[in-house]
A and B are shown apart, each in its own frame.
Chain A
Amino acid sequence: MAKERGNSEDYVRPIRRILVGFLVLLLLGTFLLWRIDSPRVERFRAALVDKVVPSFDWALVPVTKIAGMVEDFQSYARIYEQNQELRRELQQMKAWKEAALQLEQENAKLLDLNNVRLDARLSYVTGVVLADSGSPFRQSVLLNIGARDGVLDGWAAMDGVGLVGRISGVGDQTSRVILVTDSNSRIPVLIQPSGQSVLLVGDNSSAPPVEFLENPDLVRPGDRVVTSGDGGVFPAGLLVGHVAQGSDRRLRVRLAADYERLEFLRLLRSHGAEAITDPGAMVVTNPLPPVAAAPATPVEEASE
């Protein structure tokens, strides 16, 4: 055997080794390039995903649908219990609906009294989930809307109820949503009744923990968690979830969005808040003419 290895591979082996070494160096170079110039490589990645994944679309959608049907079919098995359960829930919901209607009317009246103007520019665009990240350690999904629909980095993504994540990486036809459960996700949130600002830190678990909590005594499991709008990336007041205590005694947030069924996501167009640079313009929007300054003098006199 040793003899046979001798003749033909004597010159093949070193060449092969050089080729492999060169290839490994090239790949490590790619990694270095990514580390040094991350945005450029990430743009390339977004473009690549943009090309590859939509071409899977014809297959991705049916497979996802069939898997969903299988799951649904399993739930048909206990359809009677579900029906009973739903009836009970419906009863409760009716009570809530009544309460909500009353509150809505009251709210409308109060808003009218206060002459509050809501932000009319908070509109949204809805996309369908195409694919997930494919890795068990990265929590992100790919949507079928992208730059051609006006999607920008940093927009908030919600399902019908709660916050799901934020846009990070926009291709022409696709965009990637980093879910709040991803270990790279940090979102400033507010715990509602006590009004404490904390950071929601994704850690790959289904219920991300909160960090930088000033006074844990004021927070109770069940408290509402909403986005605080700090940092100007997200609009304030989007529902994130409810506080719960994990098995490791840490305060975690049970997310309001239904992560089991992410199908349509709603991207909130956020327009960066206008920065106020001139302090004078902030206090008085239209300064009074000089004539109006005259009444100021009697005050000075009075003080003298």
Chain B
Amino acid sequence: MIDRMTLQRWLYRLLFVGLAGLIIFVRLVPLDIGGGRFPGPDVLLCLTFAWAMRRSDYVPVLLVAAVFLTADMLFQRPPGLWPALVLVGLESLRARAAVSRDLPFAIEWAMVAGVLAMMMLADRMVLALFFVDQVSFGLSILRLIVTIAAYPAIVFLSATLFGVRKITAAEADAMRQLA
């Protein structure tokens, strides 16, 4: 029989895919055609990182890679590069998730902001190295700032709406024994 924890884990993974689909769908709806708009936050990325910092077992690598590769394909971006960077960022955050469990939120936020900034820089550097056309640096910075600013809101929403909260040390022990 499936125990409660495994069932919950898979339900949350399913929820992640559902939310990713919803975010992609909303971005595809043809409402904001035409240039010169303020770039919105990368909600999908915020969501992934927020969940990774809280319950890293809800966002397995394969799932994240698949979701971001699909998004790349649908959003007309160079496929593969951004998902690879997301995975690297995700893993570096995951490694620090246990450490940040007892730290205040501001430090987690700063950590995520640092990782996001590094990802953006790496993305721009690789694209420049391969002579791919890219947007102006100012727009990228703007998007980075908006994304970082949106992170606490998404953390709050995923905690209140979906109950994705940090696990306590006791829960962590229980999970480790099960696993």
Task: Report B's interface with A, CB cutoff 8 A.
Answer: 24-25, 27-37, 39-40, 61-62, 65, 69, 71, 73-81, 83-84, 87-88, 91, 98, 126, 130, 132-133, 135-136, 139, 143, 169, 173, 176, 179
Please list 26 pairs of residues, one from A and one from B, whose beta carbons are closer than 8 Å in the complex, sorted by A's number.
Answer: A4-B176, A19-B61, A23-B61, A23-B62, A27-B81, A27-B83, A27-B87, A30-B80, A35-B78, A41-B79, A45-B79, A53-B28, A56-B25, A63-B29, A67-B31, A134-B27, A134-B74, A135-B76, A136-B39, A137-B39, A179-B33, A182-B35, A204-B139, A205-B36, A206-B35, A262-B33
Contact: A135 with B79, CB < 8 Å? no
Whole-angstrom CA separation of A26 from B37 in the bound complex: 34
Contact: A34 with B78, CB < 8 Å? yes
Interface contacts (Cβ under 8 Å), in number, total 144
- Whether A262 contacts B74 in the complex (CB less than 8 A), given A24-B87, A204-B135, comes out as no
Whole-angstrom CA separation of A138 from B27 in the bound complex: 12
Contact: B34 with A179, CB < 8 Å? yes
Whole-angstrom CA separation of A138 from B28 in the bound complex: 12
Contact: B30 with A131, CB < 8 Å? yes
Interface size class of A (residues with CB under 8 A): 35 or more
Contacts of B24 in A (CB 8 A): 134
Whole-angstrom CA separation of A8 from B78 in the bound complex: 39
- Whether A136 contacts B77 in the complex (CB less than 8 A), given A27-B83, A67-B31, A131-B28, comes out as no
Name which of A34, A139, A260, A262 has the most chain B CB atoms within 10 A of its CB. A34
- Whether A132 contacts B28 in the complex (CB less than 8 A), given A27-B80, A141-B33, comes out as yes
